[in-house]
Chains A and B, each alone.
Chain A
Amino acid sequence: MNEKNVQSEQSEHSHGFGIYILVWLGLLALTGLTVAAAGLDIGRFTVATALIIASAKAYLVLTIFMHLRSESKTFKIFVIVALFFLAISFILLFADYSF
């Protein structure tokens, strides 16, 4: 893990305007999708669908808007660790509640 360069290093996160607008359109589309899906009567899959779509949106924001895609490996590991911790909290809590 050699990110030792302490001098000012500006990350080159300069995507074009185009991709941002594309992602934005994608996000709006997904929002429309999730509203539409909520109208369907798919019983207990409602929440699952909503969460999957929300995760997709979050993923887009994380990788493109927050430039995670072009960050070094350290950042990605960090995010994974944080999400892992959160996931564990949910899983273990439901280990109690759902049985």
Chain B
Amino acid sequence: MTTQAQVHSAEHVHRDDLGARLGMWLFLFTELILFGGMFLVYSVYRFSHPQEFHIAAKELNTIVGTFNTMILLTSSLTMVLSIAAIQRDNKKLSIFFQFLTILLAVFFMVNKFFEWSVKFHHGIYPGSETLLNEKSGDILFFGLYYVMTGLHGLHVLVGIVIIAVMMRFTSKGIVTHDNYIKLENTGLYWHLVDIIWIFLFPLFYLIT
């Protein structure tokens, strides 16, 4: 988004960090409601198929889930620390924390990858024979499981890319101790991704 015509805006540009944050929050609401829509679907189906959801959830590996939760929470911490570091004008530390955040996010995705592959291995994937022979509650549970964690994973991937860009911005001095709104908004996004996982985790892994 940064390359598009800065022509006219060049003169229009003034800095309004508060406005930028306000816009970011509004954007986060749309993300929240996007996932909220899926949580609606989830809750309706859970309401109508409690038993089947209960049993299907046993298929999921609680340990991996818990582990991933911890990773993501920690990445939130490193994210916020990178902002605190830049506020204190400690560029190197900030970059280091951003790097840690990315590392943790990648770690999260790797776990997710193995988790999914195991499921696939057992023949549990959308449209698979095994799954279609199950009861409708199971089909729905795994359908939602794949869609919701998948979309969440997509957000993590996007987050990784954005944080990588921020690292570059920080090292090039675009993000500095008196102009770090970009990093701050990245942080907001990242924490939202975290919050969504905070709800996904118990609803899928812990309802056994």
Contact = CB atoms under 8 A, between A and B. Distances in A.
Report A-B touching, CB under 8 Å.
yes
A97 to B, nearest CB: 6
B179 interface: yes
Contacts of B55: none
Interface in A31-87: 31, 34-35, 38, 46-47, 50-51, 53-54, 57-58, 61-62, 64-66, 71-72, 74-75, 78-79, 82, 85-86
Interface string A1-32: 00101111111011111001101100110010
A35 B25 contact: no
Given A10-B178, A38-B202, A85 B47 contact: no
| Interface size bracket, B side | 35 or more
A54 to B, nearest CB: 5
Contact of B77 (A5, A11, A20): A20
Contact of B207 (A6, A15, A46, A78): A46
A68 to B, nearest CB: 9
B136 interface: no
Given A8-B15, A66-B188, A75-B22, A85 B207 contact: no
B29 A31 contact: no
Nearest to A38: B206
Contacts of A21: 77
B188 A8 contact: no
Q: Is the interface of B mostly helix, strand, loop or mixed?
A: helix
B76 A10 contact: no
B15 A20 contact: no
B149 interface: no
B25 A90 contact: no
A34 B206 contact: yes
Contacts of B138: none
B22 A74 contact: yes
Interface of A: 3, 5-11, 13-17, 20-21, 23-24, 27-28, 31, 34-35, 38, 46-47, 50-51, 53-54, 57-58, 61-62, 64-66, 71-72, 74-75, 78-79, 82, 85-86, 89-90, 93-94, 97-98
Interface of B: 14-19, 21-22, 25-26, 29, 32-33, 36, 40, 43-44, 47-48, 62, 66, 69-70, 73-74, 76-77, 79-81, 83-84, 87-88, 178-181, 184, 187-188, 191-192, 194-195, 198-199, 201-203, 206-208
26 contacts: A5-B18, A6-B14, A7-B15, A8-B15, A10-B179, A11-B18, A20-B84, A23-B77, A24-B76, A31-B70, A34-B202, A46-B206, A50-B202, A50-B206, A54-B198, A54-B202, A57-B198, A61-B191, A65-B77, A65-B194, A66-B187, A75-B22, A79-B29, A86-B32, A93-B40, A94-B47
